Amino acid sequence: TKKLILDLDTGIDDTLAIAYALGSPEVELIGIAGTYGNVRLETGVRNSLAVTELLGHPEVPVYPGLDHPSTKDGFLVEPSTARIHGLNGIGEVDIPDAKRAPQTESAVDFILDAAQTYGDDLIYVPTGALTNIAAALAKDPVAVGRIGNITLMGGALTVPGNVNAWTEANISQDPEAADALFRSGVRTTMIGLDVTLQTLLTRKETAQWRALGTPAGRFLADMTDYYIGAYGRIAPHLGGCGLHDPLAVAASIDPTLVDTLAINMMVDLEGPTRGRTIGDNTRLNDPVKTSRVAVGVDVPRFLKEFMTRITALAA
């Protein structure tokens, strides 16, 4: 089994990503790194601890990471984000605090240690700001280069934005961090918003979780219904909520779920398009392509894997 690290701003779809990972026998979730975005760092760490316990996996350690963007002093949750994930990040559903505490080692050192130990067998999936991995890169680029598989949720190649017309939330939190990762020469696969918005969940599926009659099933159903409600207000034409972060986990485990294009990427850092992910024209002819970008997804197969794995976990 491969070793998996998730790096999360634990909101609703991040929680579904945890559930997907815990329901996947191909990987061992060796730790969760904490970042900020949907919620502040402390809230995300609290949620990661509480959710793993509720889902029956109190053995998963949670490592707090950096709590603000690399180019700013602080971080505040956008009110619009709070309305999508709830103020507590998990759809205003009350679940008990975890019995265990966060680790004292920082997420950055945890990622570097795991890279040294597991190398090619390590999968790293960030689904929030990329601040932790950028800090890891700055500290030890050789170690980060040893990570076998980095699959991130963020950006988009075609129709980009959920923050504004140009930018997606995770990349917009720390554009410099994302740009540093794309230009580093480290191999990455980007699962962007244009592709994750093809994968939608409805109340029909959450009802199946609720019908399990378990605390985990009820929690996942109630939390996700909040998210579906938010999507209903913001993007009613979609008819469901986007499974952004779980798709990144799924594609990291089974890359055949997505079609990818090999293209060296960068991030706009200036002007109105700040935070936009875009192909790097100075590296178009470079025979070495370090980024792969998802351009399509097998929606029925992914949704089947998603429901099978999470339903079995919550039963």
Q: In this chain, which of 4, 6, 7, 11 binds ligand BDR, going by CB under 6 A?
A: 11
Shortest reach from residue 130's CB to ligand BDR, in Å: 11
Shortest reach from residue 242's CB to ligand BDR, in Å: 7
In the list Ca ion, ligand BDR, none, the entry touching 217 (Cβ below 5 to 8 angstroms by class) is: none
- Write each residue from 30 to 59 as x if it is in contact with ligand BDR (CB under 6 A), else as -, in one continuous string: -------xx---------------------
Q: Give, in degrees to the nearest 5, the angle at Cα 285 between 281 and 288.
A: 110
68 is catalytic: no
Task: Judge residue 262's burial from the number of C-beta atoms within 10 Å of its C-beta, 0-12 exposed, 13-18 middle, 19 or more buried.
Answer: exposed
Residues 6+ apart with CB under 8 A from 87: none
Q: In this chain, which of 5, 6, 14, 226 binds Ca ion, going by CB under 5 A?
A: 14
Q: In this chain, which of 128, 192, 240, 242 binds Ca ion, going by CB under 5 A?
A: 128
Task: Give the number of residues in contact with ligand BDR, rule: CB under 6 A.
Answer: 15
Find the binding residues for Ca ion in span 186-245 (CB under 5 A): 245
In the list Ca ion, ligand BDR, none, the entry touching 277 (Cβ below 5 to 8 angstroms by class) is: none
Q: Does 174 bind ligand BDR (CB under 6 A)?
A: no
In the list Ca ion, ligand BDR, none, the entry touching 222 (Cβ below 5 to 8 angstroms by class) is: none
Shortest reach from residue 12's CB to ligand BDR, in Å: 7
Shortest reach from residue 238's CB to ligand BDR, in Å: 13
Shortest reach from residue 213's CB to ligand BDR, in Å: 28
Q: Does 194 bind ligand BDR (CB under 6 A)?
A: no
Q: In this chain, which of 40, 46, 210, 244 binds ligand BDR, going by CB under 6 A?
A: 244
The candidate with the shortest Cα–Cα distance to 157, out of 303, 296, 8, is 296
The residue among 112 and 152 lying less far from ligand BDR, judged by its C-beta, is: 152
Stretch that binds ligand BDR, among 10-18, 62-70, 222-230, 262-270 (CB under 6 A): 10-18
Q: Does 245 bind ligand BDR (CB under 6 A)?
A: yes
Q: Does 169 bind ligand BDR (CB under 6 A)?
A: yes
Q: In this chain, which of 47, 103, 106, 127 binds ligand BDR, going by CB under 6 A?
A: 127
Sheet strands side by side (includes 291-297): 62-64, 27-34, 2-8, 122-126, 149-153, 188-191, 291-297, 258-262
CA distance 142 to 248: 24
Shortest reach from residue 81's CB to Ca ion, in Å: 10
The answer to whether the CB of 231 falls within 8 A of the CB of 239 is no
Active site residues: 244
Residues in the site for ligand BDR, rule: CB under 6 A?
Answer: 11, 13-14, 37-38, 127-128, 153, 162, 168-170, 193, 244-245
